[in-house]
Amino acid sequence: MDVLVVEDDEVLGKALRRGLEEAGHRCTWAKNGEKALGLATAQKCDALVLDLMLPDCQGLDVLREIRAHGIRTPVIILTALGSVEERVTGLNAGADDYLIKPFSFPELLARLSAVSRRSLNLTSQHLNVGPLSLDLSTRRVARDGHEIDLTPTEFSLLEFFMRNSGQVLTRKMLSEHLWDSDWEGVTNVIEVHITRLRGKIDRDFNPPLLQTVRGRGYVLRAV
């Protein structure tokens, strides 16, 4: 995922960029509203993380200008201002989500994944990662022209991987996608589903596409 971070605080900006890149995303960091607006209108990004308090303008002004240009990129607002009225103002200005400082980085990753998934669900019905294809309208999956039969859970899991191809997905992110609930505790359910899915999309084909990233999670990528 290509993420544009708009944050003037040096410490937080560097931390966000480092964390996003370590999670497998590509990150561009803008420190003021003017640069953010230029980047948002000139390049394609998959999500925008926007601080409201910028040195040269208000983040809401940047958001309104972006939306006025017809840019529908999902936007998550970061702010220390957390009243209901302030949240409503941000959402009415065109934000997709709202995260109050201080926040946990895993929560930001989960919210980025969620807003990106909602955005993609509106547009893409046919997904491809290398030789692997998935058609949402017919619910057919194929690799190298060979159809693959998946259970509903396996299909949902593969769709999530394909929409986030090249990105490392943690067990928490996978669990929240499958069951729409907070993930807690230790369980091998995700590993079981991963093993079954890998057996169907990789076992009889080369090279393997679904890979384990030790200590972090899993990633689907075309080799």
Average pLDDT, the chain: 86
Looking at residue 161, its pLDDT comes to: 92
- Tokens read off for 177: 């996608």
Is residue 204 pLDDT above 90, yes or no? no
Does 172 or 17 have the greater pLDDT score? 17
Most confident of 13-17, 37-41, 86-90: 13-17
Looking at residue 1, its pLDDT comes to: 82
Whole-number Å distance between alpha carbons of 127 and 134: 5
What is the percentage of the chain residues whose pLDDT exceeds 90?
39
Looking at residue 76, its pLDDT comes to: 93
Supply the Cα-derived Rg of the chain in whole angstroms: 19
Exposure of 140 by Cβ count < 10 A (0-12 exposed, 13-18 middle, 19+ buried)?
middle
Looking at residue 122, its pLDDT comes to: 52
Looking at residue 138, its pLDDT comes to: 87
Is residue 165 pLDDT above 60, yes or no? yes
Looking at residue 61, its pLDDT comes to: 92
Structural domains in the chain, sorted by start: 2-121 (3.40.50.2300), 126-220 (1.10.10.10)
- CA dist 24 → 3, 8, 17, 38, 73 (Å): 11, 23, 11, 24, 19
Query: Please, what's the largest Cα pairwise distance for the chain?
Result: 56
